[in-house]
């Protein structure tokens, strides 16, 4: 009962507090014992304190800011030509607090790798609408470089269900399509529970929860493997991987990207 009370009140693991001390204090009916118990629980409550962002969508205090409107120092691309096989500075264009896909330059990915995480991404489609179906503002947010949340101008644009904006590409359409008009800003808030492997064996698939412009589009949705075009994906064992943004040769803009590394209720903050 003491462990359950401790866990419910704090979310900390057993190593962060001496449970014998709590038990002794509970057994001690003196005022001193209960005062000490109160102080111990008070300490636990404040251990994982996180300061929220100053405005909706702003990064909380424990977030890793991947783009703050100034530069792409947190990102890289695979070199080409003489730089083939090297990581190079991105060629995507930073302008007015945003960055834009540089068509034909290649995908862009974070220099850090991530597993279980909370991700915030804002993106906008060109206001000068051209093309249709998958050739209209196509890009993608690749979780762990393998699992795509589709980015597309789906405003009045007919395409296949699991290829529209907010789709877990090629596998699951979003529950709803709350996309904004071209030129306006869309927001993805994503929770990733990374897959687990035991050697070559899949123990647990990836699970994805997505809020699209504040509207639930996927809830704890498992994937059948990596996302592919017109092909059934499969799992290949991997650890933490970079977050990747797709170059689909269209000038999609992004801004305000941050990520939080997540830990379980009974684990210390990373």
Contact 11, 48 (CB under 8 A): yes
Among the listed residues 140, 69, 73, 64, the one whose alpha carbon sits nearest the alpha carbon of residue 101: 140
Domain tally for the chain?
2
Q: Do 40 and 92 belong together in one domain?
A: no
The model's pTM is 0.83
pLDDT at 6: 42
Helix (H) / strand (E) containing 51: none
Contact 244, 74 (CB under 8 A): no
Does some domain include residue 24?
Answer: yes
What digits encode the pLDDT tens for the residues 5-38?
A: 444 444 444 444 455 565 565 556 555 655 665 5
Does some domain include residue 220?
Answer: yes
Q: Do 33 and 141 belong together in one domain?
A: no
Domain that holds residue 162: 64-261
pLDDT at 48: 81
Q: Do 87 and 206 belong together in one domain?
A: yes
Does some domain include residue 161?
Answer: yes
Region 248-269: mean pLDDT is 89
Q: Do 30 and 119 belong together in one domain?
A: no
Does some domain include residue 37?
Answer: yes
Contact 221, 209 (CB under 8 A): yes
Q: What is the CATH number of the domain that holds 217?
A: 2.60.120.560
**d(C-alpha 200, C-alpha 190), whole Å:** 27
Does some domain include residue 56?
Answer: no
Does some domain include residue 55?
Answer: no
pLDDT at 264: 82
What digits encode the pLDDT tens for the residues 172-212?
A: 999 999 999 999 999 999 999 999 999 999 999 999 999 99
């Amino acid at each position: 009962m003491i462990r359950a009370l401790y866990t419910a009140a704090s979310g900390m693991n057993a190593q962060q507090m001496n449970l014998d001390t709590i038990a002794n204090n509970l057994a001690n009916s003196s005022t001193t014992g209960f005062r000490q118990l109160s102080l111990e629980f008070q300490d636990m409550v404040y251990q994982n304190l996180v300061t929220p962002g100053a405005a909706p969508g702003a990064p909380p205090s424990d977030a890793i800011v991947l783009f703050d409107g100034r530069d792409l120092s947190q990102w890289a691309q695979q070199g080409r030509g003489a730089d083939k096989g090297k990581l190079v500075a991105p060629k995507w264009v930073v302008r007015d607090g945003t960055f834009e896909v540089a068509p034909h330059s290649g995908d862009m990915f974070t220099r850090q790798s991530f597993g279980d995480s909370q991700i915030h991404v804002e993106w906008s489609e060109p206001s000068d609408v051209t093309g249709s179906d998958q050739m209209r503002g196509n890009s993608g947010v690749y979780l762990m470089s393998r699992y795509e949340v589709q980015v597309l101008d789906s405003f009045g644009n007919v395409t296949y269900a699991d290829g529209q904006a907010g789709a877990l590409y090629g596998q699951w359409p979003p529950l709803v399509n709350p996309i904004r008009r071209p030129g306006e800003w869309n927001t993805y808030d994503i929770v990733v529970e990374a897959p687990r492997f035991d050697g070559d064996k899949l123990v647990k698939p990836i699970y994805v929860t997505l809020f699209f412009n504040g509207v639930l589009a996927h809830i704890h949705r498992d994937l059948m493997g990596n996302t592919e075009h017109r092909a059934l994906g499969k799992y290949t064992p991997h650890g933490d991987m970079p977050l990747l943004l797709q170059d689909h040769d269209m000038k999609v803009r992004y801004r305000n990207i941050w990520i939080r590394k997540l830990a379980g209720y009974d684990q210390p903050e990373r």
